[in-house]
Structure 1
Amino acid sequence: MRRIRAAAVITLTTALAATVTGCGGGTSTDEGGSNDSPKTLTYWASNQGPNIEADKKILTPELKKFEKETGIKVKLEVVPWSDLLTRILAATTSGQGPDVLNIGNTWSASLQATGALLPWDDKNFEAIGGRDRFVDSAVASAGAEGEPPAAVPLYSLAYALYYNKQMFADAGIDGPPATWDELVADGKKLSKDGKWALGAEGGNLSNNIHQVFALGQQHGADFFDASGKPTFTADGNVAAVKQYIDFMAKDKIIAPGNAEYAQNQSLTDFAKGRTAMVLWQAAASTFASQGMKPEDWGAAPVPVPSGVPGADKQVNSMVAGINIAVFKNTKNVDGARKFVKFMTSDAEQKLLNKTYGSIPPVAAAQADPAFAAPDLKVLRDTLANSAAPLPQVPEESQFETAVGTAVKDLWADAASGTPVTTESVKKRLDKAQQQMQQ
């Protein structure tokens, strides 16, 4: 994720097959033990702000604060989302990795299966103030059910529908759509004079997954069954993917060029007034960095069939977010836990999530009035009432690659004028499912 998590070109099976050696540059200590390592940590932070330099500017003062409090120096590297998972998987096999790292929460079960990450059992949670400090849905997206989480929630996110108020007013539309039928109807009014209603990123595999997952929930489908077996070609999943592609292929409310868009290009179009709506996670800081004023845009829940978000077929977002993890064979387990405690403290949670426009997964920090702003209230309500976690299965990263690519190929069909039918969608998803079984 900027915010959108890019799927790795390295499959998880490579990491699973390898013997995990020392990461963080040292030999293993026990999972809850102490050590006498130098007071230095390396930290791979994910790119949360408008660019990497912005993240460095935001995080460096906080790392200095931690060093002053503990005497532990933190060496920071901000890693783009397009590279992060690939580098993490490489680190699990090479032993050349950081002590502490950010991971997309959708990767938690996949990385957990490698055995490389410190399990957050009761003892480790107690060292950072206790598991009950964190919102349940955020912890549920930190690893496979029934096992100690592989990471700790750091920033919570959800999808919202962002819309350009002036473009809506010019088209005679009073407010944001609550259903998909309304979105399509409004979209046809907005798609004119070289401007388009809705932005998409056909080349962004993870964004493809996030959108079709939520739509799949609305069609009563999951991409995996209870045993973890892929069910990509289920009728609800096929209908969800077709509905998404039809915004371009049939409804003509997404520009054909969006079929090739990569990360953040849809945000740029929105900020520049080239599109009227975009489905995105917390986006306020990005809009501001591109010259939009808060009064220029609004945020609303992502549409659902009934118009009222909720559970089951009214789910309108995956549970998005960033977790912070520790390689369990770091030389500095104690220091790493102290750093996680610092980053998830009430004070840091308020400061960092305010800055990034995300929601604190720490319940006490959510009480800060800053998180009652209208756009953040949409995200909070979505996380509390109408978001569902992506499948917490070891093959999740392969799922993002296989199905994300299938959707990308269907975008290309739509852009070129090739008919997109139920049969063609099912064929692409069947190919993706076969790739998972190889």
Structure 2
Amino acid sequence: MRRNKAASVGALVLSLALTSAACGGGTSGGSNEQPKTLTYWASNQGASIEVDKKVLQPELDKFEKETGIKVKLEVVPWSDLLNRIMTASTTGRGPDVLNIGNTWSASLQAGGALMPWDDAAFQKIGGKDKFVESALGSTGAEGKPPAAVPLYSMAYALYYNKKLFKEAGISKPPATWDELVSTGKKLTKDGKAGLGVEGSNLSNNIHQVFVLGKQHGVDFFTPDGKADFTSDGAVAAVKQYVDLMATHKIVPRGNAEYEQNQSLSDFATDKTAMVLWQTAAATFAAKGMSEDEWGVAPAPVQSGAPGQGKGTNSMVAGINLAVFKNTKNSEGAMKFVEFMSSDGEQKILNKAYGSIPPVKTAQQDPAFNGPGIATLRETLTTSAAALPQVPEESQFETVVGTAVKELFAEAAAGRPVTDQLVRAKLDKAQQQMPKK
């Protein structure tokens, strides 16, 4: 999932718990008849909002032709989406169906504003078994009915610019972090950068430091769900990530301000040689970069090969589709979710976005077996881990993501990023979490 946010989800959970029963939700209509319209908030998946509209509108027109239900589409930028959801949840004025980042599932679930997907609900869309297990693992807290269903599955990988690698005499992509730093230094020259990051993108910051945390043996939460941001492993993970700019200088200082795909634009225009990103092929194509100009490899590990535990090299990324609990068009909403999660639509949409279908049968399409996508599928299957499915997860993304953003700002200003400074920023973040 790509987005950032500035709101406290601790307040969200409380406000949703107090207001969800009064939430009107969705489109209006008479009490005895389901309305013939749906409002759908889609997340910005493509290179731009206009690209998303071109991808989605033909499919929504197809749905209307099949069911007679018109879908009113709004594509919402990631920087706005969670705040929009919070407002809709507390006022009752919002969509019927919406996309959510899969890491938000447990937080939004705790508020009670989203329809729970029990066995009966899943049966209406073809059954829970049609989805792959890794995607279902990021739909809500364990032991509770999911808050949403998987729509697009993604994983992080290392993308590298073949032209810049060839010019630098580098024959293969790095497999470990030490190799990435060494390779990055060879590529950082003549105004070009070894690696691009999105230093102001709170979610991307979290995704990277969560993975590094797993590689250092920590999860940022204790087994009973308490925030644990200041352990030695957490400090090491955050410092290792920021040091790519602060110490190794393979990331340009200007990247500290990047938050909305700027690093991908730099990559596509030969300004940056490598990026760590989730399912980036469609974005590169939209920016005019052909498939033969870039390569993809598993994201780095500390040593050895990717796998579970300390070999984790990606979070389980993806987008889920949710229904507001008190929508006045529940039948239409269910039909829409069934349509969007159908085999045919899964193939069309995931091909368009370069993502992986979370529906098992759709994954069998040859389009999802090419070299680039195969690397992502292998990562999801063997070496990806879901972010903590706890109610405070979204607040964790905000406060720790902000801490990392502030540390990148320190590095961009040329100030040293020490262990003490990292621990102080993480301690400040932990103090903003709800007390248990």
Give the whole-Å Cα distance in 1 for the aligned partners of 2:377 and 2:82. Answer: 27
Select 1:247's aligned residue among 244, 268, 273: 244
Give the whole-Å Cα distance in 1 for the aligned partners of 2:325 and 2:257. Answer: 39
Give the whole-Å Cα distance in 2 for the aligned partners of 1:193 and 1:435. Answer: 43
Mapping 1:151-162, distance limit 5 Å: 151-162=148-159
Give the whole-Å Cα distance in 1 for the aligned partners of 2:29 and 2:214. Answer: 44
- What secondary structure is seen at the aligned counterpart in 1 of 2:211? helix
Q: Which residue of 2 aligns with 1:22?
A: 24
Select 2:72's aligned residue among 71, 75, 78: 75
Deviations 1:232-286 (A, max 9, x none): 0011111000100111111111111111112101111111111100000111111
- 1:395 deviates by 1.1
Select 2:87's aligned residue among 82, 85, 90: 90
Q: Which residue of 1 aligns with 2:138?
A: 141
- Assess if the C-alpha contact under 8 Å between 2:10 and 2:433 holds in 1: no
Select 1:110's aligned residue among 102, 107, 112: 107
Give the whole-Å Cα distance in 2 for the aligned partners of 1:107 and 1:378. Answer: 25
Q: Which residue of 1 aligns with 2:214?
A: 217
Q: Counterpart of 1:430 in structure 2: which amino acid?
A: D
Q: Counterpart of 1:13 in structure 2: which amino acid?
A: A
Give the whole-Å Cα distance in 2 for the aligned partners of 1:408 and 1:9. Answer: 15
Give the whole-Å Cα distance in 2 for the aligned partners of 1:428 and 1:322. Answer: 30
Whether 1:197 aligns to 2:199 is no
- Assess if the C-alpha contact under 8 Å between 1:310 and 1:386 holds in 2: yes
Give the whole-Å Cα distance in 2 for the aligned partners of 1:147 and 1:335. Answer: 24
Q: Counterpart of 2:233 in structure 1: which amino acid?
A: G
Q: Closer, same or farther in 2 for the Cα pair 1:350/1:14, shift >3 Å?
A: closer
Q: Counterpart of 1:261 in structure 2: which amino acid?
A: Y
- What secondary structure is seen at the aligned counterpart in 2 of 1:169? helix
| Alignment: residue pair count | 431
Q: Which residue of 1 aligns with 2:259?
A: 262
Deviations 1:274-305 (A, max 9, x none): 11000001111111121211111001000112
- What secondary structure is seen at the aligned counterpart in 1 of 2:425? helix
- Assess if the C-alpha contact under 8 Å between 1:197 and 1:276 holds in 2: yes
Identity %: 69
Give the whole-Å Cα distance in 2 for the aligned partners of 1:27 and 1:311. Answer: 49
CA RMSD of aligned residues (A): 1.4
Whether 1:169 aligns to 2:147 is no
Deviations 1:366-404 (A, max 9, x none): 000000111101110010010001111111111111001
Q: Counterpart of 1:286 in structure 2: which amino acid?
A: T
- Assess if the C-alpha contact under 8 Å between 2:36 and 2:70 holds in 1: yes
- 1:103 deviates by 0.4
- Assess if the C-alpha contact under 8 Å between 2:187 and 2:193 holds in 1: yes
Give the whole-Å Cα distance in 1 for the aligned partners of 2:131 and 2:91. Answer: 33
Mapping 1:338-417, distance limit 5 Å: 338-417=335-414
Give the whole-Å Cα distance in 1 for the aligned partners of 2:259 and 2:11. Answer: 26
Q: Counterpart of 2:417 in structure 1: which amino acid?
A: V
Q: Closer, same or farther in 2 for the Cα pair 1:398/1:280, shift >3 Å?
A: same
Q: Which residue of 1 aligns with 2:3?
A: 5
Q: Which residue of 2 aligns with 1:323?
A: 320
Q: Which moved more, 1:413-422 or 1:213-222?
A: 413-422
- 1:186 deviates by 0.7
Q: Which moved more, 1:61-70 or 1:121-130?
A: 61-70
Q: Which runs of 5+ in 1 are unaligned?
A: 30-34
TM-score scaled by length of structure 2: 0.97
Q: Closer, same or farther in 2 for the Cα pair 1:181/1:407, shift >3 Å?
A: same
- 1:327 deviates by 0.5
Whether 1:38 aligns to 2:40 is no
Q: Which residue of 1 aligns with 2:420?
A: 423
- What secondary structure is seen at the aligned counterpart in 2 of 1:420? coil
- What secondary structure is seen at the aligned counterpart in 1 of 2:245? helix
Give the whole-Å Cα distance in 2 for the aligned partners of 1:57 and 1:263. Answer: 20
- Assess if the C-alpha contact under 8 Å between 1:118 and 1:327 holds in 2: yes
Q: Which runs of 5+ in 2 are unaligned?
A: none
- 1:22 deviates by 1.1
- 1:306 deviates by 2.4
Q: Which moved more, 1:16-25 or 1:377-386?
A: 16-25
Deviations 1:37-83 (A, max 9, x none): 11211111111111111111111111111111111111111111111
Q: Which residue of 1 aligns with 2:121?
A: 124
Q: Which moved more, 1:281-290 or 1:361-370?
A: 281-290
Segments of 4+ moved more than 2 angstroms? 7-12, 14-18, 25-29
- Assess if the C-alpha contact under 8 Å between 1:15 and 1:92 holds in 2: no
- Assess if the C-alpha contact under 8 Å between 1:142 and 1:153 holds in 2: yes
- Assess if the C-alpha contact under 8 Å between 1:12 and 1:89 holds in 2: no
Give the whole-Å Cα distance in 1 for the aligned partners of 2:251 and 2:181. Answer: 10
Deviations 1:178-205 (A, max 9, x none): 0111111111111111111000111111
- Assess if the C-alpha contact under 8 Å between 1:102 and 1:322 holds in 2: yes
Give the whole-Å Cα distance in 2 for the aligned partners of 1:221 and 1:12. Answer: 23
- Assess if the C-alpha contact under 8 Å between 1:161 and 1:279 holds in 2: yes
Give the whole-Å Cα distance in 1 for the aligned partners of 2:10 and 2:112. Answer: 12
